[in-house]
């Protein structure tokens, strides 16, 4: 039955568009296998603990900064390598302010706040460098002082912010700030857990 239907379809194709079979489309598969491997890590296991915050200490109509914590990002490669880190917000859609990482939701379905990650001192193989990011998957790069969703993060020289460096050992000092949404927008009748989570995936350029 299937073969009969297929034959009918082919006949119809010839009668309606006799030149259709003369056209074609190519599938091209490219890529590069790199001998180098890089391993990213965060100091303190990447954990930021803001402790317990009393609801009465939150601003009613504006965001409240409840903690600022330093973390150091380290990337170690087998050899000098051109790479970037792609931050994925595991709580996407819960951020109470655009451009930053989400902090989860209250039990009532309200956006709890956001996490901002500032990039401070950057060193590439022991030399002062500049954090750079790209929103077009590496086609163009610019100087940055933060890392945020939708932008891949890399490092350029202090003088050239347009091209990622080949680096074997990178350190970036992060400053992680936690902001809670205005208290008048939240249901705070019980304990509410902060649940921010960001994954930095390694990309070889």
16-20, 100-104, 142-146: least confident range: 16-20
Q: Domain limits of the chain?
A: 27-204
Read off the pLDDT of residues 49-95 as tens digits, 9 standing for 90 and up: 999 999 999 999 999 999 999 999 999 999 999 999 999 999 999 99
Phi first, then psi, for residue 199 (nearest 5°) are: -110, 130
pTM: 0.82
SS3 of 52-81: CCCHHHCCCCCCEEEEEEEEEEEEEEEEEE
Q: Determine the topology of domain 27-204 in CATH.
A: Immunoglobulin-like (2.60.40)
Q: How confident is the model at residue 5 (pLDDT cuts 50, 70, 90)?
A: very low
The H or E element containing residue 116 is strand 113-124
Read off the pLDDT of residues 115-172 as tens digits, 9 standing for 90 and up: 999 999 999 999 999 999 999 999 999 999 999 999 999 999 999 999 999 999 999 9
Cα–Cα distance for residue pair 142/99, rounded to 1 Å: 16
In 3-state terms, what secondary structure has residue 45?
Answer: helix
Q: How far from 198 is each of 47, 100, 101, 129, CA to CA, in Å?
A: 11, 11, 7, 24
């Amino acid at each position: 039955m299937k073969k009969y239907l297929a034959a009918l379809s082919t006949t119809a194709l010839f009668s309606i568009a006799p030149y259709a079979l003369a056209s074609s489309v190519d599938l091209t598969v490219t890529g590069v296998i790199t001998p180098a491997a890089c391993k990213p890590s965060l100091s303190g296991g990447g954990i930021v603990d803001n402790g317990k915050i009393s609801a009465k200490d939150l601003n009613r109509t504006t965001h409240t900064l409840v903690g600022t914590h330093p973390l150091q990002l380290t990337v170690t490669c087998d050899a000098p390598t051109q790479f970037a880190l792609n931050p994925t917000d595991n709580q996407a859609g819960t951020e109470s302010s655009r451009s930053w990482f989400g902090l989860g939701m209250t039990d009532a379905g309200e956006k709890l706040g956001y996490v901002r990650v500032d990039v401070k001192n950057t060193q590439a193989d022991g030399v002062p460098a500049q954090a750079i990011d790209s929103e077009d998957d590496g086609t163009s790069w610019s100087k940055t002082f933060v890392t945020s969703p939708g932008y891949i993060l890399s490092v350029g020289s202090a003088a050239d912010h347009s091209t990622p460096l080949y680096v074997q050992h990178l350190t970036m000092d992060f400053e992680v700030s936690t902001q809670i949404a205005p208290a008048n927008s939240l249901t705070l009748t019980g304990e509410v857990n902060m649940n921010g989570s960001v994954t930095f995936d390694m990309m070889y350029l």
